[in-house]
Amino acid sequence: MDNRELFKNSDSVNELLARYGVKFGIYKDHVFHEQLFPFDMIPRIIPADEFAYLEKGLKQRVMALNLFIKDIYHEKKIIRDGVVPEEFVFSGSGYLACCDQIMPQKEIYSHISGIDLVQAKDGTWYVLEDNLRIPSGASYPMIARDLCRKCEPQIFRDIHPEDNRNYAKYLRETMDYVNTGGHTVILTPGRYNAAYFEHSYLAEQTGAHLANGHELIVENDHLYFIDYSGKKERVGAVYRRISDDFLDPMTFRENSLIGIPHIFDIYRKGNVAILNAPGNGVADDKGIYYFVPQMIRYYLGEEAILNNAPTYLPYYKNDMKYVLEHFDDLVLKDVAEAGGYGVVFGYKLSKQEKEDFLRMLKEEPRRFIAQEVIDFLDINIMEKGELVPRKADLRAFVLMGKEPVVWKSGLTRFSRNPDSFIVNSSQGGGFKDTWVLSQ
């Protein structure tokens, strides 16, 4: 493909994205900044057979993660059998004691999963992170594709990527599958949230109501949406885009103003479905990531199809020894942090910083994981009219309804800083569309 064809309209597509409000908000020093999420017109292209491999691996992974969460909140067999040490589960921030013994509709805990992958220079794909709580990002390639098709219809006549506009249909099916009777709502904290564009876009595309906590009330053990005329409408499924902590002030943070009082009580009774299930963060803790290949073996009796990045747990003596000996070659991650925060590259630390860090590591080994730095495959982006290579990852989306479905697209995020491996949008990165070739 001649890349230049695509760039001709790069500016107009970015202008349209800005006009549609494709933005990403971040809080820095407690001040809300809204910035455009820079879009690079050159798509990441994944051949059909390569994506088929990813698809198989992603389905396997998400099925195992779901079984793990169900086990942790019920029988806890994987712990009794000594596969996962109990302190990694019960003292992790993702574990919520109040979810014990709750069985969500259809036994699904992670309806919408965002799995972050990277490809190394040798072509091997690695899973870097599982995001099961409220992963965002699907809306960006959706709208970007739509606008690109309008600006450059010719290209889509020559190349045949899988159509990615079916995400809304999959999402709707996922929500309907668990709905307990009534309307479907996307619950947003409001426009000062980083992903507000996505909330409103997904509501529009799926035909769900976009609502905030004030528009929803619990009465007589059921959830109702109050419409503009004051009429109450029963709600059966809530795709919540607020974290567990803020979901219900009667169970979680008392000072949450964006939640719905008592929603957790009726969820426990099975009177409303919540997507994704509260407490499912127990499986996407960075410390738990280490154990995913073991989980796949334990629950499915299969070997993991997708690789984990080589990871060490300083919690284990041997791993700690390795980490101390190879500190400069490793990247260390604080298991409690997300969004690219709490990530430390060993070789970048000064002598003093290193000493401080090592002290912390030895005091609280459970808090960190260490990973080999993967030499990412660079992807070209267009900058000031020139092609430049940048680090990029891929967030693939897996939707769990009756069967797991992998969306044949994904959010490719890249770092705009040539020396950085961190691609998170909250750290100022940009995005690309992901084209999965149909043949």
Partner 1 sequence: MKQLRFHYYMEIRFDIPVHDHHFTLRCLPKEDDSQINEELNYEVRPYCDLCRGTDAFGNEMLYGSCREPHKLFLADVYGIVQTGCGERISETASEYIYRYQTLQTAPGVQIRGFYKELEQDFLRETDAPEQKDVTGMAVFFMHRLNKRFQYRSGITLIDTTAEEAFEKGMGVCQDYAHIFLSLLRLARIPCRYVSGMMTGEGFSHAWVEIRTPEGWIGLDPTNDRIVGDDYIRIAKGRDYKDCLINRGIFKGCVGTAFQEQMIRVEVKEIGEKTDGND
Give me the count of residues in the chain: 439
Near partner 1 in 110-169, by CB under 8 A = none
Residue number with CB closer to partner 1 (182 or 346): 182
Residue number with CB closer to partner 1 (102 or 142): 102
Find the part of the chain contacting partner 1 (CB under 8 A) among 37-45, 181-189, 263-271, 352-360: 263-271
Give Cα 74 distance to the centre of its chain. 25
Find the part of the chain contacting partner 1 (CB under 8 A) among 79-87, 180-188, 370-378, 407-415: 79-87
State the amino acid at position 254 in one-letter form: E
Interaction of residue 336 with partner 1, rule CB under 8 A: no
Could you give the CA distance from residue 52 to residue 379 in angstroms, rounded to a whole number? 21
Could you give the CA distance from residue 131 to residue 284 in angstroms, rounded to a whole number? 6
Could you give the CA distance from residue 323 to residue 319 in angstroms, rounded to a whole number? 6
Residue 102 CB, nearest approach to partner 1 (Å): 7
Could you give the CA distance from residue 337 to residue 331 in angstroms, rounded to a whole number? 14
- Which of 98, 103, 387, 388 is close enough to bind partner 1 by CB under 8 A? 98
Residue number with CB closer to partner 1 (120 or 217): 217
Closest residue by Cα to residue 133 from 110, 99, 156: 110
Residue number with CB closer to partner 1 (103 or 388): 103
Residue 87 CB, nearest approach to partner 1 (Å): 8
DSSP for residue 141: H
**Per-residue string for binding with partner 1, 223-262, x by CB under 8 A?**
--------------------------xx---x------xx
Could you give the CA distance from residue 218 to residue 32 in angstroms, rounded to a whole number? 31
- Let me know: does 49 contact 40? Beta carbons within 8 Å: no
Residue number with CB closer to partner 1 (266 or 332): 266
- Let me know: does 175 contact 184? Beta carbons within 8 Å: yes
Residue 174 CB, nearest approach to partner 1 (Å): 26
State the amino acid at position 345 in one-letter form: F
- Which of 15, 204, 221, 329 is close enough to bind partner 1 by CB under 8 A? 221
- Which of 268, 297, 354, 366 is close enough to bind partner 1 by CB under 8 A? 268
The footprint of partner 1 on this chain (CB under 8 A) covers a number of residues equal to: 26
- Which of 46, 54, 58, 102 is close enough to bind partner 1 by CB under 8 A? 102
Query: Is the bond preceding residue 276 a cis peptide, omega within 30 degrees?
Result: yes
Closest residue by Cα to residue 323 from 333, 313, 335: 313
Phi, psi of 221 (to 5 degrees): 65, 20
Provide the binding-site residues for partner 1, judged by CB under 8 A. 76, 79, 86-87, 89-91, 97-102, 217-221, 249-250, 254, 261-262, 265, 268-269
